[in-house]
Structure 1
Amino acid sequence: MWKILSALKKNLVWSVPAFMIAGIIFGALADASFLKAAIVPLTFLMVYPMMINLQIAKVFAGGDFKLQAITQIINFAVVPFFAFGIGKLFFNDRPLVLLGLLLTSLLPTSGMTISWTGFARGNLNAAIKMTVIGLIAGSLAAPLYAKWLMGTAVEIPLVDVFKQIVMIVFLPMLLGFVTKKILIATVGESKYNRNLKQKFPVFSTIGVLGIVFVAMALKAKSIVSNPLEVLSFFVPLLIIYGFNFVLSTIIGKALFNRGDAIALVYGTVMRNLSIALAIAITVFGSEQGSEIALIIAMGYIIQVQSAAWYVKLTDRIFGIPAIKAQLE
């Protein structure tokens, strides 16, 4: 079972579409309304495990102010407005889909920011700091941006959004911090890092795939009646991710060394789609939330695939790292 779960996590580019299709088939053939009861536990299962390994203390490590500042400028002053413009172009008459696209752009970084930075031999410490700052800043800023940009088209219950963010971000963050302290005190830091640390993201994957399945099942009948709708979401997502990769690569090459530039790319392109999904489903209810969640779920496919390809191209873009060059 553990091998199956690990394989699902490592192959999100296939497992997410598989669970999307399974959810659509289930919802088309059966009454999926009972699945609404699974939304809250699945949301907690999705968010809480990822918070256990969150290294909050890294935020207070200095030495890279310029890198962190430019990262957050891209994350909050460039990408959301570009995504909103693309959303208006493609979905001006579909405000809930536009809101889903906006939510993906307002919640930067995830655990994959750190993973992909490591795969590409980038600056891991900088990536960890970006992840923590992006999670906290995005959680606080997302409701305000959504209200500002979408308030006339969609009713944004600002107080409810903040309450849900406390429940799905900051409470799990606190519980994750306490859990990590207890585990380290119980088994020791060495055993924790060696045996336990890598297991928590797998549980988050169960929550992600579960939420995707539920969202698709609840939306299934309208998807089946108009299947081309799902395919139409790929184009704006590809434009947004493509723009983000190109912009961050140019800025990274111009201003930073190889390691910092790679961290900048993955700290701005990777979005916290899990938190976006959680907000969509818990704040806006099963009907509206499922429509918002549909385009967010599509984002997983593009994000994982593009991140993997970028790793393969990293040496061509930024050059071979010094240690690797010496070995060769």
Structure 2
Amino acid sequence: MWKILSTFKENLIWSVPGFMIAGIIFGGLLDASFLKVTIVPLTFLMVYPMMINLQIAKVFAGGDFKLQAVTQLINFAIVPFFAFGIGKLFFHDSPLVLLGLLLTSLLPTSGMTISWTGFAKGNLNAAIKMTVIGLIAGSLATPLYAKFLMGAVVEIPLVDVFKQIVIIVFLPMILGFVTKKILIATVGENKYNKNLKQKFPVFSTIGVLGIVFVAMALKAKTILGNPLTVLSFFIPLLIIYGGNFLLSTLIGKFFFNREDAIALVYGTVMRNLSIALAIAITVFGSEKGSEIALIIAMGYIIQVQSAAWYVKLTDKIFGTPLEPLPE
């Protein structure tokens, strides 16, 4: 069973669309309304495990202020407005879909930011710091951006959004911190790092796939009634991710060294789609939330695929990493 779950995690490019299709089939054949009760536990399962490994202390390590400042400038002063503009162009008559696109752009970085930076031999410490800062800043900024940009066309329950962010981000963050401390005190830091640390992301993956399945099942009849509309979501997503990759690559190449540039790219292009899904489903209810979640779920497909290809191209773009000098 553990091997199967690990396979799902390592192959999100296939498992996410697979669970999307399974949810659509399930919801098309059966009444999926009973699945609404699974949303809260699946949300917690999705977010809590990823918080256990969050290295909050890295935020206070200095030495890379310029890199961190540029990263968050891209994340909060450029990407949300670019995504909103593309969304207005494609979804001016579908405000909930536009809101889903906006949510993906407002929550930068995820655990995959660190993983992909490591695969590409980038600056891991900087990537960890970007992940923590992006998660906290994005969680606090999302309700305000959503209200400012979408409040005229979609009712944004500002207080409810903040409440849900406390429940699905900050409470799991505190519980994750406490859990990590207890586990290290119980089994020791070496055993924790060797045997336990890598298992938690698998549980988060179960939550992600579960939420994707439920969201698709609840929206299945709408999707089956208009499948071409759903497929058209790929075009704006490709434009947003492509534009983001291009901008971050150019800034990284001309203003930072290889390792910092790689961290910059993955710290600005990777979005925390899990948190975006959780907000969509818990704040806006199963009906509206499922419509919002549809484009967020499709973002997984493009995000994982593009991140994997970018690793293959990294050496061509930034050059090969310098070998450490012999001692």
TM-score category (smaller protein):
over 0.9
Q: For 1:198, what is the secondary structure of its paired residue? A: helix
Cα distance, 1:229 vs. partner? 1.3
Partner of 2:106: 106
Structure 1 partner of 2:210: 210
TM-score (normalised: structure 1):
0.99
Letter in 2 for 1:221: K
Match of 1:183, as an amino acid? Answer: L
Q: Deviations over 1:34-87 (max 9, x none)?
A: 000000000000000000000000000000000000000000000000000000
Matched, 1:224 2:228: no
Identity %: 87
Residue matched to 2:49: 49
Corresponding residue of 2:193: 193
Alpha carbon RMSD of aligned pairs, Å? 0.9
Q: Does 2:261 correspond to 1:261?
A: yes
| SS of equivalent residue, structure 1 residue 27 | helix
Q: CA deviation at 1:323?
A: 1.5
- After superposition, the C-alpha distances for 1:5-61 in whole angstroms (9 at most, x for unaligned) are 000000000000000000000000000000000000000000000000000000000
**Alignment correspondent of 1:243:** 243
Corresponding position of 2:17:
17
1:176 alignment partner in structure 2:
176
Gaps of 5+ in 2: none
State the alpha-carbon separation in 1 of the partners of residues 129 and 241 from structure 2. 22
Task: Provide the C-alpha distance between the structure 2 equivalents of 1:242 and 1:190, rounded to a whole number of angstroms.
Answer: 40
Code of the residue aligned with 2:238 in structure 1: it is: L
Distance 1:150 1:121 in 2: 39
In 1, distance between residues paired with 2:29 and 2:322?
A: 56
Q: Which amino acid in structure 2 is aligned with residue 250 of structure 1? A: L
Q: Deviations over 1:131-162 (max 9, x none)?
A: 00000000000000000000000000000000
Q: Displacement, 1:230?
A: 1.2
2:97 is the counterpart of 1:97: yes
Residues 243-271 of structure 1, C-alpha deviations (whole Å, 9 max, x = no match):
00000000001110000000000000000
Q: 2:51 corresponds to which letter in structure 1?
A: M
Measured in 1, the distance between the counterparts of 2:294 and 2:166 equals 23
Deviates more, 1:129-138 or 1:225-234: 225-234
Query: How many angstroms apart in 2 are the aligned matches of 1:94 and 1:230?
Result: 12
Instruction: Give the alignment of 1:79-158 within 5 angstroms.
Output: 79-158=79-158
Structure 1: 5+ residue stretches without partners: none
Structure 2 CA distance, aligned partners of 1:136 and 1:323?
35
In the aligned structure 1, how far is the partner of 2:316 from the partner of 2:225? 45
Distance 1:315 1:108 in 2: 24
Partner amino acid, structure 1, of 2:56: I
- Structure 1 segments, 4+ long, off by >3 Å, are none
